[in-house]
Structure 1
Amino acid sequence: MSALLRRALLPLSGAVLGGGAAWVASRGLIDDTYITLAYARNLAEHGHWGMTPGTTSNAATSPLNVVLLALSFLLVRPFAGADGELALGVLTAALGALAAWCTGRVVRRAGLHAGWALVALVVVLANPLLVSALGLEVVLLFTAMTALLAAGLAGRPVVYGLAAAASLLARLDMVVFVVLIALACNGIRRRLGAAVLACTAAALPWFAISWWWLGSAIPDTFVIKTNQGSFGEGRTYLRGLWTHYFPDVPEAVVVGVVAAFVGLVVLLALLVARGSRGGVRAGLTGLGLGGVAYFTVYSLLGVPPYQWYYVPPVASLSFVAVLGTGVLLAGRARRAAGVGLVVVPVAALAGLYVAVPAAALPLPWAYPPVFGNFATPAEYRAIGAEVGELVGEERVAAPGEIGTLAYACDCGLVDQFSDPAVLQPLIEARIDDAGPVLRTLLEWNYARRDAGAAQPTPWVLRWASAAVAPPEGVRRWPTTAGTVQRPDVLVLFREE
């Protein structure tokens, strides 16, 4: 086998893993994923930054993910039209290939067999928490982590700066990984100025454009999510996996976090280890500490336990669990390294067999293993298409979840994610409640914001108990809430 073919096998494996995961999840994407897809479709088809046609909004948390998805929409349009699921599959496969290429560079620098890289990719990309949030920026964030680590270990500050800019545009809170990996890698720390300059030059234009044009340098989801606080009864980020998700899907939660807990143990071992491969150990330590810091910051913020918020710490620590084990075993006897190469993938695949419902559910999934929406994706798609036909060009008040309905409706569905005027009171309340420093920053951030006047919204979508009959003449759709299987009714009526 030629050297070129051997080098191509790992990126190809990453593409297959990414594309396969996207196909498995393609018909069961969560509601927030369709918010991103709606932004991307509008950008690709109309050059418009907003969730619904004709209304500019800034509630896309990951501008880079939106842009990449829009490019993928344009790529598949000649063959399949505006197929959001296919566009997502193409992008996820490409990101999987890039993550695999970066991971390959890391394992070569560590002197490990390429099998370690493949195991790390499988453990991360098939994690039920990540797969349950496909279409959001979760795969992009993992790819950014691998790029930061590869550039950091190679000691290339300009490349690191560009990877850092991509990380911040993928999700602003990735700054914890950017900083900690940079400080852990000697080649970046010694030339930090070049990395900072490259990062600033690549990322600043978007933040300036967003501030000037969209009325906020940061996405509006900062206000939306921090205002929520919890899912009720103390179910915040710190305890959410166990109090909110574990009672319904214990297998997916346990297997979703077990590799991260192993990563914590490996991280401690890397911190005290001595010997060769010190640069790789330091880089992996920076990545692992980034995961710990990310979890700590989100816990202190007290945000709700959305499953995709757990992906950055879980992905980074799971990655450290595999490659850190390889680095620690590399200094031992060959037998120990051989045992590691057998035990780690077998354990990972056994865990995935338990965790991933592909072993038990028809493919593609009707909904993902970790799921909390009020209706299944198929139900929302069918309802949204009917709503679009019923209301035409008129506006509709959303019922609490908007993504899939808005994507299928392609109409003026209205809530804080799609209409700046609806969000404006929340922004004002957030500024009033903030401390002096944060208040000043928020006031500066929103200095150019012009939400405009609230527009008439004659139609309303609202949830009602299945046991309560809606008024005569109101359109109603029965639904089931995915894994919970709680029957409800979504009703559409016109407010006079």
Structure 2
Amino acid sequence: MAERLDYSHPAARFAPALAFLLALCAFLSLFHDIYVDDAYIALAYARSFAASGTWGMHPGFVSNAATSPLDVLLLSGFIKLGFPGVWAVYVFECVLAVVIFCALTFLSRRVFGSDLWAYLGTLALFTNPLLISTSGLETYLFVAVLLGCVIAFLAARYFLLGLAAGLLVLARPDGVLLLAPLFALMVWEKRGLDFVKVLVGFGIVVGAWGFVSWLYLGSAIPDTYFIKRKEAAWHDFSFANGLVLYYFKYPLATLLSLAPALFIPFALPLAKTNRDWRAFVVLAGGLALVHYAAYSLLNLPPYHWYYGIFISALALIGAGGLVVLTREGHAARLAALGLAAILALAGAVTCAEAALARKQMPIHTNLGTVAQYRAIGEWLNANMPAHEYRIIGELGVIQYYGHADAVNSFSDRQILRDFAAKLPEHSPGKWLAELNFAHLTVRPPVGSDYRLEENCKDARGALKTWTTSSIWIDSVLWCLRRESPVSPASPRPD
């Protein structure tokens, strides 16, 4: 007679978790070479730092436009370990999936007394079309660090919580908004004085990076703050209503991304009686709400990765609602698990179809595919003599695969000098800007007169043109020009 399997044995729990994570990593491999353009900006920073110690998109030219310095540092570590290019990003994503699953397992056992939320929450995060579309960026890193903050809070390790909250800011600057719901929660639980310990740990991490950034990178505030603040809403669509825009363009993917919100009403009542779940809901949900409100008030553009914090909170709290439903009887358990399976399968199929059939992420706003941009970069490698040139348009993939330095506002830091020059003389803002840029070095002017321009209106006189397209847009014309007369001795592109 066969012996009964002992599910209390560690191996009985380890084997399903291992199979689950291996399947998840196999799924993530579908996206390893089609990350959105901005992910290649982070990858270019990581490659440059790993190869030469330069914090910038190209060796020798320092800039500070990496939104997530923690992401760049960790990714450069994987490159140093020998993982080439986009495979370093993929391996890093797999490691983050494992970290997130382990953190959710700890929380799931503490809150629900089982591992179910770990499985459902991880599926909700990694089969969500919008979140998958942020792969290669810092969203999953942010989630992993946020879960670390929650665990530190539940363990009452407040100084450690402060350190983790500081790392959250290094993962994304908007992580600073976590301090708002955290302070409210600690005051509610009559632990307001312990918030001082949080601030000390937070100040150490953020202060240390800010000092390094100010002294060696020329600005304590990332360049992206000044770059993005110049951008406005896209016509009638800003961050506040941008998900409507994505629904018009990607209806199924957008609905599946938001579907976990349907189960949040089942999750919220548990927060009244379960202190640990209340902490998670307040910290993750509160951060999502504060972040959504702040970005809406700033009237920022609706880049899809800006919604990563909000959608992640919906996914995890919604998954908690499904777990609660499984406790309402056998029929409710079957229905909840069936719904979870259907949503996960639908999300995975939607993401896989975009990757396999169209070689694109399921949700994005890029004007071309990775393959198209890579082809431009490789043509420039073979045919253009310049070591650097100016680019107007999406530069991540072209910069990453190109040998020459593609210069725009992400590497030409004159934009920072221009920002300071426009401030009123003798104003506090002017003084702060001059202090912030005290160690700023602006790179010399571009050393060639080549310019690659996206969405050029007139191709006359162009040395070479390309047409890119994507799910987002039908056709975009790119033109390579020389901005001064070409001498007869100058080499011409074919």
Which deviates further from its counterpart, 375-384 or 340-349? 340-349
Contact 1:422 1:454 in 2 (8 A): no
- Please report the RMSD computed on the Cα atoms of aligned residues, expressed in angstroms: 2.9
Amino acid at match of 2:50: A
Is 1:338–2:333 an aligned residue pair? Answer: yes
CA distance in 1, matches of 2:342, 2:179: 31
Q: Of the candidates 452, 466, 475, which is equivalent to residue 464 of structure 2? A: 475
CA distance in 2, matches of 1:121, 1:149: 16
Q: Of the candidates 189, 201, 204, which is equivalent to residue 201 of structure 1? A: 204
Equivalent residue, structure 1, for 2:229: 226
Is 1:348–2:336 an aligned residue pair? Answer: no
Equivalent residue, structure 2, for 1:451: 442
TM-score normalised by the chain length of structure 1:
0.87
Equivalent residue, structure 1, for 2:72: 66
Equivalent residue, structure 1, for 2:303: 306
Contact 1:476 1:492 in 2 (8 A): yes
CA distance in 1, matches of 2:106, 2:294: 30
Contact 1:181 1:287 in 2 (8 A): no
CA distance in 1, matches of 2:98, 2:448: 45
Contact 1:157 1:187 in 2 (8 A): no
Which deviates further from its counterpart, 201-210 or 51-60? 201-210
Q: Count matched residues.
A: 476
CA distance in 1, matches of 2:472, 2:102: 39
Query: Measured at CA, do residues 381 and 215 of structure 1 come closer, stay the same or move farther in structure 2, by a change above 3 Å?
Result: same
CA distance in 2, matches of 1:494, 1:86: 36
Deviation at 1:427, TM superposition (A): 5.4
CA distance in 2, matches of 1:301, 1:311: 17
Equivalent residue, structure 2, for 1:51: 57
Equivalent residue, structure 2, for 1:38: 44
CA distance in 2, matches of 1:16, 1:144: 22
Measured against aligned partners, the alpha-carbon deviations of 1:192-248 in whole angstroms (never above 9, x if no partner) come to 2333222322332111100111111121111111110122x12211111213x2222
Equivalent residue, structure 2, for 1:138: 139
Q: Of the candidates 235, 238, 241, which is equivalent to residue 243 of structure 2? A: 241
CA distance in 1, matches of 2:24, 2:184: 30
Deviation at 1:404, TM superposition (A): 0.6
Measured against aligned partners, the alpha-carbon deviations of 1:71-91 in whole angstroms (never above 9, x if no partner) come to 0111134xxxxx221100111
Amino acid at match of 1:487: S
Equivalent residue, structure 2, for 1:80: none
* Equivalent residue runs for 1:149-168 within 5 Å: 149-168=150-169
* Equivalent residue runs for 1:252-267 within 5 Å: 252-260=253-261, 262-263=263-264, 265-266=265-266
Deviation at 1:333, TM superposition (A): 5.1
CA distance in 1, matches of 2:173, 2:424: 23
Amino acid at match of 2:294: V
Query: Measured at CA, do residues 129 and 98 of structure 1 come closer, stay the same or move farther in structure 2, by a change above 3 Å?
Result: same
CA distance in 2, matches of 1:37, 1:407: 8
Measured against aligned partners, the alpha-carbon deviations of 1:111-154 in whole angstroms (never above 9, x if no partner) come to 33212211111111221111112111011011112111222222
CA distance in 1, matches of 2:445, 2:197: 46
Amino acid at match of 1:85: V
* Equivalent residue runs for 1:353-372 within 5 Å: 356-358=350-352, 360-361=353-354, 363=356, 366-372=359-365
Contact 1:22 1:88 in 2 (8 A): no
Amino acid at match of 1:448: H
Equivalent residue, structure 1, for 2:480: 492
CA distance in 1, matches of 2:133, 2:166: 26
Amino acid at match of 2:449: P
Measured against aligned partners, the alpha-carbon deviations of 1:385-430 in whole angstroms (never above 9, x if no partner) come to 221333345321112111111001032211000121255325544x
Runs of 5+ consecutive residues of structure 2 not aligned to the other structure: 1-6, 485-494
Deviation at 1:182, TM superposition (A): 5.7
Deviation at 1:464, TM superposition (A): 5.1
Measured against aligned partners, the alpha-carbon deviations of 1:314-351 in whole angstroms (never above 9, x if no partner) come to 1012211112553x558x65547734752452343254
Equivalent residue, structure 2, for 1:295: 292
Contact 2:355 2:362 in 1 (8 A): no
Measured against aligned partners, the alpha-carbon deviations of 1:51-78 in whole angstroms (never above 9, x if no partner) come to 123211010000000001100111134x
CA distance in 2, matches of 1:127, 1:121: 10
Larger CA Rg, structure 1 vs 2:
2
Contact 2:391 2:406 in 1 (8 A): yes
Deviation at 1:107, TM superposition (A): 0.8
CA distance in 2, matches of 1:107, 1:414: 47
Which deviates further from its counterpart, 415-424 or 97-106? 415-424
Runs of 5+ consecutive residues of structure 1 not aligned to the other structure: 78-82
3-state SS of paired residue (1:491): strand
Query: Measured at CA, do residues 187 and 413 of structure 1 come closer, stay the same or move farther in structure 2, by a change above 3 Å?
Result: farther
Measured against aligned partners, the alpha-carbon deviations of 1:233-278 in whole angstroms (never above 9, x if no partner) come to 12211111213x2222111112112224643x356545xx543x22
Higher RCO (C-alpha under 8 Å, 6+ residues apart): 1
CA distance in 2, matches of 1:154, 1:410: 49
Deviation at 1:184, TM superposition (A): 2.6
Contact 1:31 1:377 in 2 (8 A): yes
Query: Measured at CA, do residues 353 and 190 of structure 1 come closer, stay the same or move farther in structure 2, by a change above 3 Å?
Result: same
Amino acid at match of 1:237: F
3-state SS of paired residue (2:467): strand
Is 1:111–2:112 an aligned residue pair? Answer: yes
Contact 1:14 1:99 in 2 (8 A): no
Equivalent residue, structure 1, for 2:215: 212
Measured against aligned partners, the alpha-carbon deviations of 1:81-105 in whole angstroms (never above 9, x if no partner) come to xx22110011111111111111111
